[in-house]
Amino acid sequence: MNPNSPVEVMDAEAHHMAAIQSIYSHYVLNDLCSFEEEPPTAIEMLSRRAEVLRLGLPYLVAMADGRVVGYAYADAYRSRPAYRHTVENSIYVAPGQQGRGVGRALLETLLARCAAGGFSQMVVIVGNSTNAGSIRLHESLGFERVGVLRQVGFKFGQWVDTVLMQRSLRDLAGK
Ligand SMILES: CC(C)(COP(=O)(O)OP(=O)(O)OC[C@H]1O[C@@H](n2cnc3c(N)ncnc32)[C@H](O)[C@@H]1OP(=O)(O)O)[C@@H](O)C(=O)NCCC(=O)NCCS
């Protein structure tokens, strides 16, 4: 795939979910960014996407040269009703496609869509405090670090921190 080919972000459709499942499985099996340990099936991924859409939230895919190169979605931050204006994001770029702006393109669109949908805060819980790519991507688009939860995960035989980051969506509303 040409690393300079343009990246297009669009709503993910059911037929994208096999490629999305393959990207996510890679990170579940090989990386500390996800705290899952068993890759969910494509059917489970479809069901998770359906729940995101049911909440009126975006589930996006990034395409280049006709192939899925990344995906992102927003989900409820927590289920209790007073949290209903706050969303949490997830972003995964295909192995080999990182560092060429795919994550930025996905997160910019996700922020705009959530702001337009009336949500007021977006948080991200970055798995692994040494995840420089995710921390940098989020800082670059206006997220602030609000804390570190130390050793709340245990994966691949080691304790893992999470970094909590937050961005208001209010400045984006109406744009
Ligand atoms: C984190 C991730 C989504 C970033 O997406 P990406 O497409 O690689 O990032 P981009 O090319 O859009 O770069 C965005 C910014 O992050 C910076 N960046 C990207 N990777 C980086 C790295 N490994 N180290 C430091 N900075 C990095 C870029 O320089 C750019 O900074 P700028 O805005 O100041 O120019 C992607 O690398 C990924 O999928 N990682 C594995 C899964 C993961 O950790 N997901 C996040 C879960 S919280």
DSSP 87-141: EEEEEEE-TT-TTSSHHHHHHHHHHHHHHHTT--EEEEEEESTT-HHHHHHHHHT
pLDDT of residue 3: 80
Confidence of residue 6 (pLDDT cuts 50, 70, 90): very high
Contacts for 52-56: CB closer than 8 Å, 24+ residues apart: 56/117
Backbone angles phi, psi at 49, to 5 degrees: -65, -40
Q: Is the CB of 126 under 6 A from ligand 1?
A: yes
> Is residue 175 predicted with pLDDT exceeding 90?
no
In a domain, 3, yes or no: no
In a domain, 102, yes or no: yes
Q: What domain range includes position 88? A: 8-173
In CATH, what number is assigned to the domain containing residue 123?
Answer: 3.40.630.30
Q: How far is the CA of 137 from the centre of ligand 1 (A)?
A: 5
Best residue among 109, 136, 138, 166 to mutate for probing ligand 1's pocket (most ligand atoms within 8 Å of CB) is 136
For residue range 98-130, list pLDDT tens digits in order.
999 999 999 999 999 999 999 999 999 999 999
Quote the crossing angle between the two packed helices 102-116 and 132-140, to the nearest 10°.
50
Q: Is the CB of 30 under 6 A from ligand 1?
A: no
Which tokens is 156 given? 């691949």
pLDDT of residue 37: 98
Confidence of residue 2 (pLDDT cuts 50, 70, 90): confident
Across residues 53-66, what is the average pLDDT? 97
In a domain, 161, yes or no: yes
Q: How far is the CA of 82 from the centre of ligand 1 (A)?
A: 31
pLDDT of residue 4: 83
> Is residue 39 predicted with pLDDT exceeding 80?
yes
In a domain, 2, yes or no: no
For residue range 139-165, list pLDDT tens digits in order.
999 999 999 999 999 999 999 999 999
In a domain, 30, yes or no: yes
Which tokens is 27 given? 């990170």
Cα-based angle 164, 145, 97 (whole degrees, multiple of 5): 75
pLDDT of residue 74: 98
**Structural domain count of the chain:** 1
Which tokens is 127 given? 């798995």
Q: How far is CA 126 from CA 31, 118, 119, 130, in A?
A: 12, 24, 20, 9
pLDDT averaged over the chain? 97
